């Protein structure tokens, strides 16, 4: 895709491949990606950033849903398999992206905090500042955290909904209307700190059972995941969660792009 400019102003202000509006403010144009909606290839792959990405459990689902993903984390993530930048999430210029996935640290809200009261002091609550930033920028977003976290009108996803080998409840707050699965009754117990018996589920936290079995239970047992560590797996969400939600997000973005006033004016 070629952009014609005069003194930095875009002349052909609509992508001829996917029809999305191009602006000169940095929201739709990137030297590396061209049109941020289709990547300059007309493929309909919006660019999304995964804040606090860890080893990329959520990113895997985002890619499966049709996004091009960039991971951001304040710590090195050697086993993150997509484009990655080490940075403070609150310092990232989010206007380069079509949408945001955010998984702020959850240790302050986890059930372990009931036994280890210092967790809430050691790990900051970043939910409020991340939400404030995203709402100020009017970014479409999904924010994920554990039960007990102060998310607004969240839905709950559970592994039982997707026939996984874990229950692993997680909350999700979104900037757009969301359709959730109906939570079904748990079938069998969850095994803590050991390999599950027949009919039981894995609990992938702390000193869980065997790593290969836990990876399979989470839906993260692809061969290219062979180097993922116990800690990385314990801090991940099943990719099927983010794929389910991101499939709805991508439809919302498509609707917003094709029905935007900017695009209507350019037709």
Q: Are 80 and 59 within 8 A, CB to CB?
A: yes
Cα distances from 14 to residues 67, 149, 163, in angstroms, run: 20, 41, 43
Residue listed under structure tokens 């061209």: 34
37 shares its domain with 122: no
54 shares its domain with 72: yes
9 shares its domain with 94: no
Whether 255 is in a domain gets the answer no
Lowest mean pLDDT among 17-26, 39-48, 211-220: 17-26
What is the count of structural domains for the chain? Answer: 2
Cα gap 85→92, rounded to integer Å: 10
Please report the pLDDT score of residue 259 as a whole number.
61
Whether 254 is in a domain gets the answer no
Residue 38 has pLDDT above 70, yes or no: no
3 shares its domain with 109: no
Q: Which structural domain range is residue 13 located in? A: 1-45
Decide: helix, strand or coil at residue 82. Answer: coil
Q: What residues does 73 pair with on adjacent strands?
A: 86
Whether 229 is in a domain gets the answer yes
Please report the pLDDT score of residue 213 as a whole number.
93
184 shares its domain with 131: yes
Cα gap 75→35, rounded to integer Å: 29
Whether 262 is in a domain gets the answer no
210 shares its domain with 127: yes
CATH code of the domain containing 195: 3.40.50.150
Residue listed under structure tokens 């498509």: 254
Q: What residues does 174 pair with on adjacent strands?
A: 142
243 shares its domain with 152: yes
Alpha helices in the chain (DSSP H): 57-65, 119-122, 127-137, 211-218, 230-234, 239-258, 261-266
102 shares its domain with 232: yes
Please report the pLDDT score of residue 179 as a whole number.
80
Please report the pLDDT score of residue 144 as a whole number.
97
Whether 266 is in a domain gets the answer no
Pairing of strands 170-174, 29-30: unpaired
24 shares its domain with 102: no
Please report the pLDDT score of residue 116 as a whole number.
43
Q: Higher confidence at residue 221 or residue 184? A: 221
Whether 83 is in a domain gets the answer yes
Question: Is the alpha carbon torsion for 18, 24, 30, 31 positive or negative?
Answer: positive
Decide: helix, strand or coil at residue 71. Answer: strand
Cα gap 28→14, rounded to integer Å: 10
Cα gap 201→91, rounded to integer Å: 39
pLDDT in tens, 217-250: 999 999 989 999 999 999 999 999 999 999 999 8
Please report the pLDDT score of residue 118 as a whole number.
54
35 shares its domain with 10: yes
pTM: predicted TM-score of the whole model, two decimal places: 0.78
Whether 12 is in a domain gets the answer yes
Whether 260 is in a domain gets the answer no
Cα gap 53→58, rounded to integer Å: 7
Q: Are 50 and 27 within 8 A, CB to CB?
A: no
pLDDT in tens, 82-129: 989 899 999 888 877 888 999 999 655 555 444 445 545 555 689 999
Cα gap 217→213, rounded to integer Å: 6
Query: Mean pLDDT score of the chain, rounded to an integer?
Result: 78
Residue 25 has pLDDT above 60, yes or no: no
Q: Higher confidence at residue 61 or residue 178? A: 61
Mean pLDDT of 13-36: 46
69 shares its domain with 177: yes
Q: Return the percentage of the chain with pLDDT > 70, whole number.
A: 72
237 shares its domain with 202: yes
Please report the pLDDT score of residue 256 as a whole number.
74
């Amino acid at each position: 895709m070629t952009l014609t400019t005069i003194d930095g102003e875009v002349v052909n202000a609509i992508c001829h491949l996917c029809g999305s509006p191009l602006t000169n403010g940095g929201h739709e144009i990137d030297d590396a990606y061209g049109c941020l909606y289709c990547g300059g290839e007309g493929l309909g792959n919006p660019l999304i950033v995964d804040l606090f990405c860890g080893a990329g459990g959520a990113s895997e689902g985002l890619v499966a849903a049709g996004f091009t993903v960039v991971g951001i984390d304040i710590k090195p993530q050697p086993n993150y398999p997509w484009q990655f930048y080490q940075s403070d999430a609150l310092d990232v210029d989010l206007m380069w992206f079509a949408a945001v996935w955010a998984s702020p640290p959850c240790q302050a809200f986890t059930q372990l905090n009931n036994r280890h009261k210092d967790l809430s002091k050691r790990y900051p609550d970043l939910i409020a500042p991340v939400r404030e930033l995203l709402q100020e920028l009017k970014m479409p977003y999904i924010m994920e955290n554990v039960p007990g976290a102060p998310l607004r009108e969240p839905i709950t996803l559970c592994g039982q909904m997707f026939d996984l080998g874990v229950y692993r409840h997680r909350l999700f707050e979104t900037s757009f209307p969301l359709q959730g699965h109906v939570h079904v009754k748990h079938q069998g117990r969850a095994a803590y700190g050991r390999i599950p018996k027949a009919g039981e589920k894995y609990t992938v936290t702390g000193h869980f059972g065997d790593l290969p079995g836990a990876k399979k239970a989470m839906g993260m047992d692809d061969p290219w995941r062979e180097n993922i560590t116990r800690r990385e797996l314990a801090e991940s969400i099943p990719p099927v969660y983010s794929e389910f939600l991101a499939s709805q997000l991508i439809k919302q973005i498509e609707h917003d792009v094709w029905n935007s006033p900017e695009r209507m004016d350019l037709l």
